[in-house]
Amino acid sequence: MAAALDYADFVERYGGIYERSPWVAERCFERQAGELAPFELLKLLERCVDEADRDSKLDLIRAHPDLAGKAAVRGELTAESNTEQASAGIDQCTPDEFAEFQLLNNRYRDKFGFPFVMAVRGSNRQDILAAFALRLENDYETEFETAIREIHKIARLRLEAMSERR
């Protein structure tokens, strides 16, 4: 069980569950009642995202870095994103794979106006590149909803990792 926290501690602890979007934890703080088990907290965080307006959701999607993108090259990923991308071997791309990631990142952003988001932990580079190519065939609405579902998966994995460290 997660002990009840004051606002600052709650946002400090859970503000990074959703990539560069502490607003999710901020909005959830008022809804949490006492101690929450990790699963209950995850459901609360998910609800805060799902009930957010469309612009907030779009901002949330856009807060995610490109896979094998410029932020990774410049060392600007959050610690969580860096760990997640490394777990899928993205930091070990061959020059050809890196070029393919760049091409797909650009095509995806041009088509949808936001980055390709995928919970990559447990995947490898080939899985990710295949998913990229497949998802480029989707329409905007399908991809928007897919990105939100993938963001929820990332949040679940991050919350699980936090629970394991305690």
* Catalytic site positions: 64
Please compute, for residue 1, the number of CA atoms within 13 A of its CA located in the half-sphere on the CB side: 8
| Cα separation, 73 vs 91, whole angstroms | 9
Tell me the Ramachandran region of residue 67: left when phi exceeds 0, alpha when psi lies from -120 to 50, beta otherwise.
beta
Q: Are 122 and 91 in contact (CB under 8 A)?
A: no
Is residue 123 a contact partner of residue 86, using CB atoms and an 8 Å limit?
A: no
- Would you say 44 and 31 are in contact if contact means Cβ atoms under 8 Å apart? yes
The set of residues, in sequence order, having a beta carbon less than 8 Å from that of 64 and lying 6+ positions away, is 19, 81, 115, 117, 151
